[in-house]
């Protein structure tokens, strides 16, 4: 059974997010790459069980400023052709949508999301997320749903919050991997967009984090198991 997850990082933060801490508990090893630091992305081999593409400060519509995203997009296209499980988180989901031909752009009224916002299932029967689900967001861009993909979740400010393409491609605009420690680091950033429209006050973020982060953790760890373990078992 393939055992290696390739993690494409867009930041140099500690690897204490829920994907980095939980996937090894499921029996996977993580190979992490940082294209923004000049690292080349690897060839896929028989031991590759899947790919996680993280969030970060770069934006898809700013590839002239972040040219490594062009090479990364070509690599993602290769991964899609290989039909291995790919999970994109925030910028990672935006890159997936871009490679699949969908638009990625700022909010038409300049709004941003930084805090914990409600994410609602598109089809309650599918139960992609439970009712009254609040997850961490930190972004100023949003994606359209690619042709042939299924919209899974919606939000108020950025309507498209998650999509699936076939069985092996999943993207979320929100950050289910975010822990309280990560949220605290983001809150302390000099570039934290406190005065931008749509952004929650620090007090509201703290209140919602206390209410909802445990549920998001449980949900995301189950998703990682369902998405990567189930898909990997199907390849045996």
Range of the domain at 111: 4-234
Catalytic: which of 98, 175, 178, 221?
175
Q: What is the pLDDT of residue 231?
A: 67
**Dist. CA 126–CA 133, nearest whole Å:** 15
Element (H, E) at 97: helix 91-99
pLDDT in tens, 21-75: 999 999 999 999 999 999 999 999 999 999 999 999 999 999 999 999 999 999 9
Q: What is the pLDDT of residue 20?
A: 98
Radius of gyration of the chain (CA): 17
Backbone angles phi, psi at 23, to 5 degrees: -60, -40
Q: Is 13 a catalytic residue?
A: no
**Dist. CA 43–CA 140, nearest whole Å:** 32
Contact yes or no for 72/41 (Cβ under 8 A): yes
Q: What is the pLDDT of residue 126?
A: 83
124 CB-near residues (< 8 Å, 6+ apart) = 131
How long a stretch of residues is the chain? Answer: 236
Q: Is 177 a catalytic residue?
A: yes
Ranges of residues in the chain with a pLDDT under 70 are 1, 231-236
Q: Is 11 a catalytic residue?
A: no
Extract the tokens encoding 201: 């006050």
Using CA atoms, how far residue 64 sits from 8, 59, 142, 170, 206, in Å, is: 20, 10, 19, 26, 36
Catalytic: which of 10, 79, 90, 178?
90
Q: What is the pLDDT of residue 236?
A: 43
Count other C-beta atoms under 10 Å from residue 208's C-beta: 18
Q: What is the pLDDT of residue 147?
A: 98
Residues in a beta bridge with 104 = 143
Extract the tokens encoding 118: 């409600």
Query: Domains in the chain: how many in total?
Result: 1
Q: What is the pLDDT of residue 121?
A: 96
Query: Could you give the 3-state DSSP secondary structure of residue 42?
Result: coil
Q: What is the pLDDT of residue 148?
A: 97
Query: Could you give the 3-state DSSP secondary structure of residue 152?
Result: strand
Contact yes or no for 146/165 (Cβ under 8 A): yes
74 CB-near residues (< 8 Å, 6+ apart) = none
CATH code assigned at 180: 3.40.50.880
- pTM of the predicted model over 0.85: yes
Measured over the CA atoms of residue 102, residue 105, residue 107 and residue 108, the dihedral's sign is negative
């Amino acid at each position: 059974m393939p055992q290696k997850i390739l993690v494409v990082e867009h930041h140099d933060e500690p690897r204490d997010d829920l994907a980095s801490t939980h996937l090894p508990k499921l029996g996977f090893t993580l190979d992490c790459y940082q294209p923004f630091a000049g690292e080349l992305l690897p060839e896929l081999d028989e031991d590759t069980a899947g790919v996680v593409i993280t969030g970060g400060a770069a934006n898809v519509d700013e590839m002239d400023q972040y040219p490594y995203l062009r090479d990364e997009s070509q690599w993602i296209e290769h991964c899609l052709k290989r039909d291995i499980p790919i999970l994109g988180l925030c910028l990672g989901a935006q890159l997936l949508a871009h490679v699949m031909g969908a638009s990625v752009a700022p909010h038409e009224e300049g709004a941003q999301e930084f805090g914990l916002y409600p994410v609602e299932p598109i089809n309650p029967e599918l139960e992609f997320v439970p009712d009254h689900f609040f997850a961490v967001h930190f972004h100023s861009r949003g994606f359209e749903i690619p042709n042939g993909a299924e919209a899974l979740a919606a939000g108020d400010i950025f309507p498209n919050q998650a999509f699936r393409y076939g069985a092996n491609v999943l993207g979320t605009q929100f950050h289910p991997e975010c822990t309280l420690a990560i949220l605290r680091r983001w809150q302390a950033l000099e570039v934290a967009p406190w005065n931008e429209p749509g952004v929650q006050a620090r007090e509201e973020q703290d209140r919602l984090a206390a209410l909802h982060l445990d549920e998001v953790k449980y949900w995301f760890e189950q998703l990682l198991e369902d998405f990567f373990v189930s898909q990997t078992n199907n390849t045996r």
